[in-house]
Chain A
Amino acid sequence: MSMKSLKAQGHELASETAQLVKLNEHDFVKFKDKLDPIGLNPLKPTKIDIFQINVGKMCNQVCKHCHVDAGPDRKEIMTRETMEICLDILSKHDIGTVDLTGGAPEMNPHFRWFVEEIKKLGKHVIDRCNLTIINANKKYHDLPEFFAKHNIEIASSLPHYTPNRTDRQRGDGVFERSIDALQRLNAVGYGKEGTGLLLNLVYNPTGAMLPGPQEVLKADYKKQLFDKFGIEFNDLFVITNIPISRYLDYLIASGNYEDYMTSLIDAFNPEAAKGVMCRNTLSISWDGYIYDCDFNQMLDMKVKTNGTHLKDFDFEALSNREIIIDQHCYGCTAGLGSSCGGQTV
């Protein structure tokens, strides 16, 4: 597995334009043509309730499927000034949840200050923690205590409960270190009944296929992780891999791209389309631009409003905007649907 991002490799698919060209060069049915007959084109927000902030692309891992193309070589990091603009906006609007993602969000030097300030505003905070950051360096060892102190919801990827499937996607030794991190989170009360400290795991297929039903996979995870490692957790979010960035590269390189796209399109579910997360979420990039979702962010498709930066934040205009769609959107509407909170149907 390469330890370099596509960007550092100078890979063609590091370019957002090249990805969009690839996604549109086949004569697959256009996503908008699927929305037309069900009255969802143009796609509009319902109520904006989640502010998902990507605080930087730096990460201690280089996962094979990463849609952010994150890694140790990515230096894009949100500044404290941009975080202050986020806080100002959050203080003025009824947005209940702040979802922090990256890279590894904890690697941002202002991470802890930012979390504390968001909590002062009474918002619910989710940290998308990759687990291994907790034991990556001594300075992160107290993260479980920090998370618990501020009652941060933790959402952590563990694509499989077997070492080989997880390591093939996330890197050698990641499974073992993730188990250690989960045990550390359990030790401070995360995932334990009655503590109120939420520890949710994220499953995404470790290959070119769609995920199965969330409830079935959750039961497997509960049994396997408890029986083998004594680990407890609250929920399992089942997510479909979106065909962009490194996952798109994997699909093409492994000869699975056309079959995967066909599977997504064949599994298009109108109910899942109604519940897509871009309808209640805004996605903010490390440099303060606003997007419909983290995937549109990585394709550099900014929101369709007059101002696209936090400095021009207009809640009314954003609440009535037309959400930008393209062929990658099939990933969120296949089968039982997919969002950062798992399946939607």
Chain B
Amino acid sequence: MSTYYKPEDLKKFGNITEFDKELGDKFFDYYGEVFKEGALTTREKSLIALAVSHAVQCPYCIDAYTSDTIEKGCTEEQLMEAVHVAAAIRGGASLVHGVQMMEKTKKILM
């Protein structure tokens, strides 16, 4: 295997059911339900998916949800704002631990 990630593997995602059909089917049923129009629109859900894709750094998901958000009519600005939301949360998640660091520092220093 020349690389762990292959773009063509995205299209094979559905084949996950090959080794465990029951759990695979349950996952895809659930997945389909999650992305249906609901209290959130399908476009809002797609933008959330795009942001989460960046947060979890999944290249398959980034590929899929970049196309999906554009197909659903989102602009480049909206896609980038979603990515910045992911970046802000990831950055913030690191930075907020600075409080723990500061409290520990204050505790151990005279």
The residues in A between 210 and 240 inclusive whose CB is less than 8 angstroms from any CB of B are 210-213, 216-217, 220
Is B71 a contact partner of A205 (Cβ separation < 8 A)? yes
Contact code string A147-164 (vs B, CB < 8 Å = 1, else 0): 000000000000000100
| Size bracket of the B interface | under 10
How far is B61's CA from A1's CA once the two chains are assembled, in angstroms?
32
Which residues in A have their C-beta under 8 angstroms from that of B11? 262
Q: Chain B's interface: helix, strand, loop or mixed, by majority?
A: helix
Contact code string B59-91 (vs A, CB < 8 Å = 1, else 0): 000000001001111010000000000000000
Is B73 a contact partner of A220 (Cβ separation < 8 A)? yes
* Residue A207 at the chain B interface, CB threshold 8 Å: yes
How far is B78's CA from A165's CA once the two chains are assembled, in angstroms?
14
Given A216-B43, A262-B11, decide whether A211 and B75 contact each other with a Cβ distance below 8 A.
Answer: no
Which residues in B have their C-beta under 8 angstroms from that of A207? 70
Is B71 a contact partner of A212 (Cβ separation < 8 A)? yes
What is the CB-to-nearest-CB distance from A217 to chain B, in angstroms, rounded to a whole number? 5
Is A216 a contact partner of B73 (Cβ separation < 8 A)? yes
The residues in A between 176 and 215 inclusive whose CB is less than 8 angstroms from any CB of B are 205, 207, 209-213
How far is B72's CA from A262's CA once the two chains are assembled, in angstroms?
19
Which residues in B have their C-beta under 8 angstroms from that of A162? 75
Residue of B nearest to A207 (CB): B70
Is A210 a contact partner of B72 (Cβ separation < 8 A)? no
How far is B28's CA from A33's CA once the two chains are assembled, in angstroms?
27
Is A209 a contact partner of B67 (Cβ separation < 8 A)? yes
How far is B73's CA from A210's CA once the two chains are assembled, in angstroms?
10
How far is B43's CA from A213's CA once the two chains are assembled, in angstroms?
10
Is A210 a contact partner of B71 (Cβ separation < 8 A)? yes
Partner among A165, A209, A220 whose Cβ is within 8 Å of the Cβ of B71 = A209
Is A212 a contact partner of B75 (Cβ separation < 8 A)? no
Which residues in A have their C-beta under 8 angstroms from that of B71? 205, 209-212
**20 A-B pairs with C-beta separation under 8 A:** A162-B75, A165-B75, A205-B70, A205-B71, A209-B67, A209-B70, A209-B71, A210-B71, A212-B43, A212-B71, A212-B72, A212-B73, A213-B72, A216-B41, A216-B43, A216-B72, A216-B73, A217-B73, A220-B73, A262-B11
8 additional A-B pairs beyond A212-B43, A212-B72, A213-B72, beta carbons within 8 Å, are A162-B75, A205-B70, A205-B71, A207-B70, A209-B67, A212-B73, A216-B72, A220-B73
